[in-house]
Amino acid sequence: MQTAAFSKWSWTRLWYMGFLCLCVCSLSANGRTAAAQTPISPTNEPGADLGIQRLRIQVMPEFDDPRVLVIIQGRLAAPDTAFPLPVTFRVPRGAQINQMAVMDVSTGATTGQPFDAQPDPDDARWSLVTYTLDNAHFFYEYYYNPLEGETDKQFTYAFSSPQPVENLLLEVQQPLAATNFTLDPSPTIARFDEGLGFTYHQFNVGSLAAGEESAIAVSYTKANPEPSLSRAEVMAMQTQDEPSEIPPAVETGHAGSPAPTWTLVLLGAVALVSVGGFVWYRSQPSSVSTAAVARVSASPQASKARSSAGFCTECGATLKTNARFCHVCGVSCKADLE
The average confidence (pLDDT) of the chain is 75
23 with 99, same domain: the answer is no
Is the pLDDT score of 53 beyond 80? yes
91 with 22, same domain: the answer is no
176 with 104, same domain: the answer is yes
298 with 276, same domain: the answer is no
Largest CA distance in the chain: 112
What is the domain-level CATH number for residue 128?
Answer: 2.60.40.1730
More confident residue, 187 or 314: 187
253-267 average pLDDT score: 47
Cis ω on the peptide bond leading into residue 66 (within 30° of 0)?
A: no
CA nearest to 313, candidates 326, 287, 4, 291: 326
Q: Is residue 249 part of a domain?
A: no
Is the pLDDT score of 59 beyond 50? yes
Q: What does the pLDDT look like over 11-48, one tens digit per residue?
A: 445 554 555 555 545 444 444 443 343 343 333 333 44
Contact 61, 173 (CB under 8 A): yes
Any residues with CB less than 8 A from the CB of 168 and at least 6 apart, and which?
55, 56, 57, 159, 205, 206, 207, 208, 214
Q: Is residue 32 part of a domain?
A: yes
Q: Is residue 46 part of a domain?
A: no
Q: Is residue 45 part of a domain?
A: no
More confident residue, 6 or 152: 152
DSSP character for 258?
A: P
- In this predicted structure, what is the pLDDT of residue 238? 72
20 with 90, same domain: the answer is no
H/E segment holding residue 182: strand 179-184
272 with 225, same domain: the answer is no
User: How many domains does the chain divide into?
Assistant: 3
Domain that holds residue 315: 290-337
60 with 111, same domain: the answer is yes
90 with 207, same domain: the answer is yes
Q: Is residue 135 part of a domain?
A: yes
CA nearest to 185, candidates 162, 167, 201: 201
Q: How many helices (H) and strands (E) does the chain have?
A: 7, 14
Q: What does the pLDDT look like over 164-173, one tens digit per residue?
A: 999 999 999 9
Cis ω on the peptide bond leading into residue 285 (within 30° of 0)?
A: no
Rounded to 10°, the helix 8-36/261-283 angle is 160
89-109 average pLDDT score: 93
- In this predicted structure, what is the pLDDT of residue 3? 45
DSSP character for 176?
A: T
Q: Is residue 247 part of a domain?
A: no
Share of the chain above pLDDT 90, in %: 49
190 with 86, same domain: the answer is yes
Q: Is residue 41 part of a domain?
A: no
Share of the chain above pLDDT 70, in %: 57
Rounded to 10°, the helix 300-308/290-298 angle is 100
Q: Which long-range contacts (CB under 8 A, 24 or more apart) does 25-31 make?
A: 25/263, 25/266, 25/267, 25/270, 26/267, 28/263, 29/259, 29/260, 29/263, 30/256
Is the pLDDT score of 68 beyond 50? yes
302 with 214, same domain: the answer is no
Q: Is residue 142 part of a domain?
A: yes
pTM of the model: 0.58
279 with 301, same domain: the answer is no
84 with 210, same domain: the answer is yes
